[in-house]
Structure 1
Amino acid sequence: MIRSVLIVVILGLVAACSGVKLGYNSADKVLAWRLDDWFDLSDGLRQPARDRLHRVLAWHRREELPRYADILRSAERRLVDPAPLRAAELLALQQQVTGRLQVLGGRVADEFADVLVQFGPAQRRRLLARLDENNDEFREDYVDADAGAVRKRRIDRMVDRYQFWLGRLSPEQRIHLEQWVDARGTDAAWRLSLRQDRQRVFVGIVDEAARGKSSPQTALRLRAFFADLEAPSAPPVRARHEEGDQARAQLTADLFNMATPAQRDKARERLLRLAEDCLALAGQGAAS
């Protein structure tokens, strides 16, 4: 989906610190390809979609990257303090990130609504096909897979994530992470069901837009849809969302509190370099 594709590229760049600038500067080409791949854009839609994509990226570079830098520098300053990290502090930090994602979702909704109302059967078919492919991959990897393979995949993914910030985990940190994974088990079937529910809502927005909904109406529905991804309105979903956030924040606090001085220094260096890259990219946008 449009917002998901944008976030994968824009925020996924943080996964490779040394390549943030290169990745961000090529995001327009990557995203244009992904949009076409997901929606099979016709000649009449391709250029308008790219124009709006360029506007979103220019706005994001100019307005949002300095805010990301502020968040990153705030996190770095906290790591200077030797006091133990608390899950509540990490949840507050995550709330700031969530707020920025909600702003991004609103901007994407406003920019792309008038493209969405021009979608036809070809765009709907391609979207459904891509959603089915993604769901099949998720089902194969997490729902139908051997329990041991799923456990390993989850642990490997989380180890990679934390080692990006801390470097090689100690045996004690790894054991703690594995115990956390085992204690929580897997909720893959529920996650797949939630994915499919949200996909049906999005396809419904596409269908309503094609049936003659105006761009402002479509933008409002998209805004509500994107906002719900970050802060679910349905009580059962919201409760599980918040419980997962709390559990992950506690795990992160535990691993950082177990960190060696060298690991904390590495995390601080990562945060500072990412903040510097965000500001440099924002400055490039201002100069262009």
Structure 2
Amino acid sequence: MKKTRLPLIIVFSFLLSACSTSFVYNNLDWLLYWYLDDYITLTAEQKSQLDDRVETWQAWHRAVELPKYQQQIDQLRNQLQSGPLDQQAWLLVFDEVQQSAKRLREKIAPELAELAKQLSPAQVEELLTEWQKNTQERIERRTNSSPEERLAERQEERIEEIEDNLGKLTPEQKDIVSSHIKKLKSTFEYRTAYQTRLQGIVKDLFNHPEDENFSSQLSALIIDPNQYKTAEHTALSEQNKIQYAQMMADLNLTLSTKQKQKLDESLADLSQTIQALVED
């Protein structure tokens, strides 16, 4: 339900500070409730049951997934030290991140679907209402801005995020980022239709929670919501991912020694943080 960040931002999310990474990971329970509170009010019993599941999921994630993350980050670090990564190499990095997210969804989906069966009709209505409200708010924000304003905002946001991890960009590097962002195809209309489609599917499912196929169908939706995207939406998203990968490759060729060092230090710090989380 939450707007998904683009591939570039997913990759650079690896470069969070050690402090914030540890804080977020070790406080997933109340951060989850903070997020859910925007959509649904859980009962004390439902929170208790979810607490148990989150604890189990986190133990699995700490033991199974975090070592994979550390390996991927160390591999990326070695690749960057050996030389610039080309478009195909960055696409593989994006794919690893997406596969990590899929493994997590596959782990939690069956149990989450079972917990969802306990939602009351009033809770389901609250969820759908807030979901639709958020979708409408995004439409209104877009309506109140021009294409030029939205483009400038996206360019500025990407530059700031990259500078957080590389240091100040040169004019040439800023031009690289801006030119690639300009080539991205808008998927807003497709995403809005996709959200509406998902809302309808979820509503239909919860109309019959007693159905013997309810849990399996909801679980399949959680694992692969992209199955409900149109072919055109999927194709545009793939084109944008390729564009991002090329931007990363082009930018990679221009990095100064200082920028390379800062990026390497960020990756090394994150790898150490993950190691500490595994051993915690």
In structure 1, what is the equivalent of residue 32 of structure 2? 31
Q: Report how many aligned residue pairs link the two structures.
A: 274
Distance of aligned partners of 1:35 and 1:185 in 2 relative to their CA distance in 1, 3 Å threshold: closer
Alignment root-mean-square deviation, CA: 2.7
**Cα offset for 1:77?**
0.4
For structure 2, which runs of at least 5 residues remain unmatched after alignment? 5-9
- Could you tell me whether the CA contact under 8 Å between 2:155 and 2:181 is conserved in 1? yes
In structure 2, what is the equivalent of residue 150 of structure 1? 150
The 10-residue stretch of structure 1 (153-162 or 111-120) with the greater mean CA deviation from structure 2 = 153-162
Write the mapping of 1:191-202 to structure 2, written as runs, cut at 5 A.
Answer: 191-202=191-202
**Cα offset for 1:132?**
2.1
The 10-residue stretch of structure 1 (191-200 or 124-133) with the greater mean CA deviation from structure 2 = 191-200
In structure 2, what is the equivalent of residue 7 of structure 1? none
In structure 2, what is the equivalent of residue 66 of structure 1? 67
**Per-residue CA distance 1:228-266 (angstroms, 9 max, x = gap):** 346777533332222121111111111121211211111
Structure with bigger helix share is 1
Distance of aligned partners of 1:223 and 1:71 in 2 relative to their CA distance in 1, 3 Å threshold: farther
- Could you tell me whether the CA contact under 8 Å between 2:91 and 2:242 is conserved in 1? yes
Distance of aligned partners of 1:220 and 1:241 in 2 relative to their CA distance in 1, 3 Å threshold: farther
2: distance between equivalents of 1:114 and 1:200?
20
**Per-residue CA distance 1:143-180 (angstroms, 9 max, x = gap):** 44222321222112212332232122211111121122
Q: Choose from 249, 252, 276 the match for 2:245.
A: 249
Percent identity between the two aligned chains: 24
Q: Quick one: which amino acid aligns to residue 160 of structure 1?
A: E
**Cα offset for 1:187?**
3.4
**Per-residue CA distance 1:180-233 (angstroms, 9 max, x = gap):** 22233533223222232233333433434x2x034xx44432343234346777
Q: Choose from 255, 263, 269 the match for 1:273.
A: 269
1: distance between equivalents of 2:165 and 2:242?
20
The 10-residue stretch of structure 1 (258-267 or 233-242) with the greater mean CA deviation from structure 2 = 233-242
1: distance between equivalents of 2:160 and 2:13?
15
Distance of aligned partners of 1:102 and 1:279 in 2 relative to their CA distance in 1, 3 Å threshold: same
2: distance between equivalents of 1:11 and 1:203?
33
Distance of aligned partners of 1:231 and 1:20 in 2 relative to their CA distance in 1, 3 Å threshold: farther
In structure 1, what is the equivalent of residue 133 of structure 2? 133
The 10-residue stretch of structure 1 (167-176 or 124-133) with the greater mean CA deviation from structure 2 = 124-133
1: distance between equivalents of 2:188 and 2:143?
6
- Could you tell me whether the CA contact under 8 Å between 1:13 and 1:23 is conserved in 2? no
In structure 2, what is the equivalent of residue 106 of structure 1? 106
TM-score after normalising by structure 2: 0.86
Q: Choose from 256, 261, 275 the match for 1:260.
A: 256
For structure 1, which runs of at least 5 residues remain unmatched after alignment? 5-9
Which of the pair has the greater relative contact order for Cα pairs under 8 Å at 6+ separation?
2
Q: Quick one: which amino acid aligns to residue 103 of structure 1?
A: R
In structure 2, what is the equivalent of residue 181 of structure 1? 181
- Could you tell me whether the CA contact under 8 Å between 2:29 and 2:54 is conserved in 1? yes
Distance of aligned partners of 1:168 and 1:183 in 2 relative to their CA distance in 1, 3 Å threshold: same
In structure 2, what is the equivalent of residue 115 of structure 1? 115
Q: Secondary structure at the match of 1:112?
A: helix
In structure 2, what is the equivalent of residue 283 of structure 1? 279
1: distance between equivalents of 2:227 and 2:129?
27
**Cα offset for 1:44?**
3.2
TM-score after normalising by structure 1: 0.84
